[in-house]
Structure 1
């Protein structure tokens, strides 16, 4: 989880790209060692002073643009065949930039959550042949993740590198193996933009326009997206009114008057409460206002850093934090993540006193989020004392930035996808869904809406969109039943109705005890097979057996598979993973075997079957139905029973791990 902690700090510190620039600056994407899309006109853009003339020189030809009032400029190169390396010179009034070792090839954006983000280091991969790992035709770019309520003009950061044994370790493992397979097959340069973040739900990656048809997002959109105010604008306005608001409304109560934040405060009458929790669920039902929390903690025995990172995760709604009587931070908003840097000189090896004033402005209150990367300090019993009580209906609530990178709609799209929508690309790969499994039926609409919107925003037609279906995960169930993850896989598969889409089935390579299966090599290769078929029109077997239809014959169901997915194959006589039901809709594990390239499914206790399911489970266990190309059969169900997640929709309530 160390990588996620680092990402937290980078995101939550925030970064603001200026809209006006004193000198020439290229958008973050444009650097030496980059790959530009072949066979399409290629926009190159950046920033400079308004009205400044920009000249781009490429292949002995000059292209010019004049910077607009907003400080931006854009020059479009004509389509180029695959090749390179080239140099590109960009000149402004008083500055010039030379891009070296530039290739033209295919550019893929690699998005999603942690299974796309997980690096080669995290899966423990080391190339056996370090010389062969040096691949000048494979170029890698990992975007620094950012957020905002409005679309940003540039990425927060990122660097292009050529793939080598030294450079690949911190790059997305899935994306790397995908790109490697394409480069080996196509023999053209491949550029990979890794733009992803662990634990994120799909709505964070959707634009305001894509979310607008869905009523469950309207209250949030009206409050935060419709005003079209950036984080910087909102924070500036809050800081301007904050001193007066604090004095009149917020710095009130006995605790502030008596300085309960001091270590010598008598807490003999304070009660205890378990954290993380909502205090309404424990000791203080219906209470809005200030509650003080206190405990002691020791530093780690090997602590030698200049600062101690205090991670308190999410607090509802406001907080002020003191350590050993000194204020070390404050926060506003029940979604924001609290990460406070405490100077080491303020701390003792043992018995440091931390005091937190939590202020709830309505609904539930408390230190509620127990994410796995929070400090152990957060967890366990705290002393607490109730203080100032407010009327939540009349208490003045300032407008503040209030976001979680994992669940707040549109903010990751605005920070990371919007800045690259001008870029010429070949397509997208996507591995996400775990965070939406509890709302799988909703995902049936959100996922296609996101695909359509990304294509619309990039203005390059129905560019290929290749995605990974969720792998098997969690403990096997002794009997067939309902499953959030199975429903999410079904929702993913329904997106194949859109043109130029492909799905890599991973139902056989997950791990029961790890949501991040280590076999990212097969994930990347299977995504590459789908890309070769869908994006490059290669005549290959790109997917495993896919359900096409069924027939009921006596006491059995005959399952037919789609043509073009190769011959069915299994090392065993009987096929695992099938379940069968009669009109009672009670499913039972079935017996199944291959005959004439179909699967015969039956169960001795059912004489009149009506429906069948395959791999319909969080984790159906070891499966053995493949095609002769070694690709697994895709999960499916033939029944139309109500889905477990049918009535679960996005909510603005704080999102808890």
Structure 2
């Protein structure tokens, strides 16, 4: 009898345990020891508790306690007014249990997201050994969102805040690390970085499903995903047959291009690449945490669909901003991103078109800007090691556009006017031009049409000279030039910079395109 009572008690305890666990206060994983909160603003703090239970929040930088109650589904949220940068502080949350968050700093907080060049760790960067050895920056804190994905939005993420030190920095995003280092050095305030990225992932995986569903031009991505199981077999066979032909080619002259891996074949075993899967798992749980802005580095996985990227990326930016602005406060945070670098893609023209799409997003979407990396890429390695320059260029953008520094040059030369004199083309960039190696400018191509043809052909410009803020380019092969482009297919050889060393923006323009 006694044994049966013990068994009955254990059964009751095991059944009741989830309810007892759920009854305790739980915070979003973002609210933990060593965290950084955005300074001089109102920051949301949220979590879960038993429905209707009172929650009391005490922040050590203010006298008054804040009271709230969990709603009927157990969700609760309060807003804390933060002071100017400083700390460390404490936050105490009390209800059915008590949680105390220690070593809270107030400063500047940025969200970093994208694919592998964003998550590329500091330990693989050039001069990593020396950089890691001196990475003693206790006021820079880093939170890496662990990988998770799904067809429905997640409520919470996983991860922990780390203090930057030689023991921790090696695994940090190199781009995020160098960005944070620059911002901290200039502003002299604590910096928080939340890095939510996943290598080899397309932009549609980071975009919310309702945005894809409600935009006719983006429904393609949802439909394609549905068709993957039906098409992957045939696509795989075709791809491997083309790959065999490419490997076997021996004849001199024009060579076959290495075939691109079909999207169906690539995505078949990668469910985290499903449209909206990463938005659900790795962005939705971060809403509405208060960030100063977003840093984004992605695009390599969308090169084969470059013609759709401008619409897709624009929708992604607007959808993220919409999720952070559900209450209509018009708090449009900055979205700064990195243009994809040169690499030996199967179709270099598609890569150039994606860079152009990124440029067009910068020109058409408010509060965006782009760091150019045309001088940093490696045609043999998509993960080039010079991430310091990327982080520093993003920091220059932030200084100029988010922090009000007026005299900072944050971007390289942009072609603003094209004109023609006989067979020569004059390009006006609006700022003094130089070259990396002090040689003549490289990377220009001249466009023309053969008689009876509607398609544009391009040849390399044979000569180019710099005249102050202008470049003059021509080709003896082309008597009637109709277009000019720079750092397009021949991206890796481009060498045009401004006086601070920032590279010129790639472009393609018709001769009569005027200014833009």
TM-score range for the pair, normalised by the shorter chain length: 0.7 to 0.9
Q: Where in structure 2 are the equivalents of 1:153-552 lying within 5 Å? A: 153-155=155-157, 157-215=158-216, 218=219, 278=234, 281=237, 404-406=271-273, 408-459=274-325, 461-474=331-344, 483-496=349-362, 497-539=364-406, 540-552=408-420
Paired residue for 1:622?
Answer: 493
Q: 1:578, 1:589 within 8 Å by CA — same for their partners in 2?
A: yes
For 1:87-106, what aligned pairs fall within 5 Å after superposition?
87-93=90-96, 95-106=97-108
C-alpha distance in structure 1 between counterparts of 2:278 and 2:162, whole Å:
24
Q: 2: CA distance between counterparts of 1:427 and 1:601? A: 39
Q: Structure 2 vs 1, CA of residues 22 and 433 (structure 1 numbering), >3 Å: closer, same or farther?
A: same
Give how far 1:61 is off: 2.3
- Aligned pair in 2 of structure 1 residues 182, 279: CA closer, same or farther (>3 Å)? closer
Aligned equivalents of 1:181 and 1:89: distance in 2?
32
Q: State how far apart, in whole Å, the 1-side matches of 2:180 and 2:212 are.
A: 31
Provide the residue aligned with 1:81 in structure 2. 84
Whether the 8 Å contact between 2:132 and 2:170 is mirrored in structure 1 is no
Q: Distance in 2 between matches of 1:210 and 1:370?
A: 21
Q: How far did residue 125 of structure 1 move? A: 5.0
For residues 278 and 575 of structure 1, do their structure 2 counterparts lie closer, same or farther at Cα, with a shift above 3 Å needed?
A: same
Which string of whole-angstrom CA distances, capped at 9 and with x for unpartnered residues, describes residues 434-469 of structure 1? 010011110011111111111111115221110000
State the shift of 1:490 in Å: 0.2
Change (3 A) 1:218 1:484: closer
* Structure 1 residues 425 and 129, CA gap change in structure 2 (3 angstroms): closer
Q: Give the conservation status (yes or no) of the 8 Å contact 1:47–1:71.
A: yes
**Partners of 1:130 and 1:521 in 2: CA distance:** 13
Distance 1:615 1:185 in 2: 32
How far residue 214 of structure 1 moved from its aligned partner, in angstroms, is: 3.0
Shift of 1:212: 2.5
- RCO higher in structure (CA 8 A, sep ≥6): 1
In the other structure, the counterpart of 2:48 is: 47
Sort the Cα spacing of 1:147 and 1:280 in 2 relative to 1 into closer, same or farther, 3 A: closer
After the TM superposition, which of the residue ranges 32-41 and 580-589 deviates more from structure 2?
A: 580-589
d(CA) in 2 for partners of 1:610, 1:217: 33
CA 1:42–1:623 in 2, change beyond 3 Å: closer, same or farther?
A: same
Question: Structure 2 vs 1, CA of residues 567 and 124 (structure 1 numbering), >3 Å: closer, same or farther?
Answer: closer
Distance 2:468 2:386 in 1: 32
- In structure 1, how many angstroms separate the alpha carbons of the residues matched to 2:163 and 2:481? 57
Cα separation, 1, equivalents of 2:225 and 2:300: 26
Residue of 423, 433, 440 corresponding to 1:568: 433
Q: Is the 8 A contact 1:21 1:71 kept in 2?
A: no
Q: CA deviation at 1:277?
A: 6.0
Query: 1: distance between equivalents of 2:272 and 2:146?
Result: 13
Equivalent pair of 2:132/2:169 in contact (CA under 8 Å): no
- Whether contact under 8 Å (2:150, 2:272) holds in the other structure is no
Partner of 1:147: 149
Q: C-alpha displacement at 1:128, in angstroms?
A: 2.5
| Residues 467 and 503 in structure 1, CA contact (< 8 A), matched pair in contact too | yes
CA distance in 2, matches of 1:38, 1:411: 32
Kindly indicate which of the two structures has a greater share of residues assigned to helix: 2
CA-to-aligned-CA distance 1:158-204 (integer Å, 9 cap, x gap): 00011111111111111111111111111111110000000100000
Conservation of the 8 A alpha-carbon contact between 1:277 and 1:369? no
> Residues 129 and 547 (structure 1 numbering): CA distance in 2 closer, same or farther, change over 3 Å?
closer
Any idea what SS the aligned residue of 2:214 has? coil
Other-structure match for 2:459: 588
From 600, 606, 609, give the equivalent of 2:472.
600
Q: CA deviation at 1:79?
A: 3.6
**Structure 1: distance between partners of 2:196 and 2:349:** 29
Q: How far does the alpha carbon of each residue in 1:568-621 deviate from its partner, in whole angstroms, 9 at most, with x for none?
A: 11243421000012343221100211113110011112222121000111x523
Q: Identify, as 1 or 2, the structure richer in strand.
A: 1
Answer whether contact 1:555 1:606 (CA < 8 A) is retained: yes
For residues 160 and 38 of structure 2, the distance between their equivalents in structure 1, rounded to whole angstroms, comes to: 17
The answer to whether residue 63 in structure 2 is matched with residue 64 in structure 1 is: no
Alpha carbon RMSD of aligned pairs, Å? Answer: 2.9
Whether 1:611 and 2:483 are equivalent positions in the alignment is yes
How far the C-alpha of 1:213 sits from its partner, in A, is 3.4
Contact 1:501 1:534 (C-alpha < 8 Å) held by counterparts: no
Change (3 A) 1:519 1:279: closer
State the partner residue of 2:424. 556
Q: Structure 1's 489 and 22: CA in aligned 2 closer, same or farther, altered over 3 A?
A: same
3-state SS of 2:139 partner: strand
Task: Give the TM-score taking structure 2 as reference length.
Answer: 0.81
| TM-score, length-scaled by structure 1 | 0.65
Judged with a 3 Å threshold, the aligned counterparts in structure 2 of structure 1 residues 219 and 203 are, in CA distance, closer, same or farther, namely: closer
Q: What do residues 12-36 of structure 1 show as CA deviations (whole Å, max 9, x unaligned)? A: xxxxx99x92211110100110000
Aligned with 1:490: secondary structure?
helix
Q: 1:49 to 1:224 in 2, by over 3 A?
A: farther
1:79–1:118 CA distance, 2 compared to 1 (3 A):
same
Kept after mapping to 1: 8 A contact 2:139/2:189: yes
Structure 2 counterpart SS, 1:128: helix
Give the drift of 1:68.
1.3
Give the SS at the match of 1:33. coil
Give the Cα separation in 1 of the matches to 2:419 and 2:396.
31
- The equivalent of 2:506 in structure 1 is 635
| Post-superposition CA distance 1:542-572 (Å, at most 9, x none) | 011111110111111111114xxx4211243
SS for the counterpart of 1:621 is helix
